[in-house]
């Protein structure tokens, strides 16, 4: 049976730039890093969002404007009401001597780990400077841009091997575009370092019922979203394909 959404209030909104906002919710939610919420906008849709941290009143989520749903969510004002189910998903197993690798809005999923382990290096990439989030929250992040407009030109995985060797990391936490995740998992695998990855698939129920989020033999929403890198390397769909909203396969 699917949980019913509860109505919660947006009590604060922080605007990072034109396309990214952090929304603070007044809700009692006990969560572990890596879990997500299903956010419902009545008459629009319901979609998954990572829990990006919390403050005294409840959880926070960071929303990037992409299509219709996220566009509406970004525009909501303080005081607006939204529906919320969750938290859902298998969280990260926490190991402190770690490194964080984030692509784009994937940093939101990893932010609670970065808050917990304040010495952990953060390798964070965006296509362009204007998309950057959490400048003040994580000034220690090494920043990469695909277009070279700020930080280092390239991808966060470019320096992963040298960071692992320099720091002797025991675990790498990753979230972001799947080609980046594949690269990170392979790098960790070749160095014999643990790697936990949060992956995304199109989700509808968010609780393991509908099968929409299938990735090979696993349901991402209920069996993950966090998986060991080695497990993903054996998965026939990881880095290759996903089901779209209509149930058709598309390349990742």
Ligand X SMILES: Cc1cc2nc3c(=O)[nH]c(=O)nc-3n(C[C@H](O)[C@H](O)[C@H](O)COP(=O)(O)OP(=O)(O)OC[C@H]3O[C@@H](n4cnc5c(N)ncnc54)[C@H](O)[C@@H]3O)c2cc1C
Contact 180, 76 (CB under 8 A): no
Rule CB under 6 A: is residue 209 a binding residue for ligand FES?
Answer: yes
Stretch that binds ligand X, among 11-19, 47-55, 141-149, 180-188 (CB under 6 A): 47-55
Stretch that binds ligand X, among 1-9, 43-51, 138-146, 157-165 (CB under 6 A): 43-51
CA–CA distance, 141 with 87 (Å, rounded to integer): 27
Nearer to ligand FES among residue 38 and residue 141 (C-beta): 38
CA–CA distance, 248 with 252 (Å, rounded to integer): 12
Where in 180-209 is the site for ligand X (CB under 6 A)?
A: 200, 202-203
Beta carbons within 8 Å of 21's beta carbon, 6+ residues apart: 13, 14, 15, 62, 63, 74
Residue 47: C-alpha distances to residues 37, 97, 191, 197 (Å): 8, 33, 36, 20
Where in 179-208 is the site for ligand FES (CB under 6 A)?
A: 203-206, 208
Contact 84, 6 (CB under 8 A): yes
Nearer to ligand X among residue 67 and residue 192 (C-beta): 67
Instruction: Give the nearest distance from C-beta 215 to ligand FES in angstroms.
Output: 10
What sign results for the dihedral spanned by CA atoms 35, 179, 99, 133?
negative
Nearer to ligand X among residue 99 and residue 175 (C-beta): 175
Instruction: Give the nearest distance from C-beta 80 to ligand X in angstroms.
Output: 17
Q: Where are the alpha helices (DSSP H) in 124-251?
A: 160-167, 178-191, 220-223, 229-233
In the chain, the N- to C-terminal Cα span, in Å, equals: 30
Q: For ligand X, which residue of 48, 112, 121, 156 counts as binding (CB under 6 A)?
A: 48
Rule CB under 6 A: is residue 218 a binding residue for ligand X?
Answer: no
Rule CB under 6 A: is residue 47 a binding residue for ligand FES?
Answer: no
Nearer to ligand X among residue 175 and residue 193 (C-beta): 175
Beta carbons within 8 Å of 207's beta carbon, 6+ residues apart: 2, 3, 88, 221, 222
Rule CB under 6 A: is residue 35 a binding residue for ligand FES?
Answer: no
Rule CB under 6 A: is residue 108 a binding residue for ligand X?
Answer: yes
Chain contacts with ligand FES (rule: CB under 6 A)? 203-206, 208-213, 219, 221
């Amino acid at each position: 049976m699917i949980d019913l959404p509860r109505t919660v209030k947006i009590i604060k909104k922080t605007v990072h730039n034109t396309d990214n906002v952090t929304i603070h919710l007044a809700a009692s939610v006990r969560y572990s890093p890596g879990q997500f919420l299903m956010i419902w906008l009545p008459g629009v849709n319901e979609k998954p969002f990572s829990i990006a941290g919390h403050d005294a009143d409840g959880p926070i989520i960071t929303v990037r404007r992409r299509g219709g749903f996220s566009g509406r969510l970004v525009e909501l004002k303080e005081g607006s009401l939204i529906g919320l189910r969750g938290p859902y998903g298998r969280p990260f197993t926490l190991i402190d001597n770690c490194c964080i690798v984030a692509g784009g809005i994937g940093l939101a999923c990893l932010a609670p780990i970065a808050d917990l382990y304040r010495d952990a290096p953060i390798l964070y990439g965006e296509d362009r400077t204007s998309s950057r989030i959490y400048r003040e929250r994580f000034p220690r992040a090494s920043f990469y841009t695909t277009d070279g407009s700020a930080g280092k030109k390239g991808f966060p995985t470019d320096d992963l091997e040298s960071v692992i060797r320099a720091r002797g990391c025991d675990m790498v936490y990753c979230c972001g575009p799947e080609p980046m995740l594949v690269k990170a998992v392979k790098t960790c695998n070749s160095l014999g370092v643990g790697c936990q990855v949060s992956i995304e698939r199109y989700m509808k129920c968010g609780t393991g019922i509908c099968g929409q989020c299938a990735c090979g033999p696993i349901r991402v929403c209920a069996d993950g979203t966090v998986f060991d890198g080695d497990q993903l390397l054996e998965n026939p769909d990881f880095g290759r394909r996903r089901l779209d909203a209509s149930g058709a396969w598309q390349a990742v």
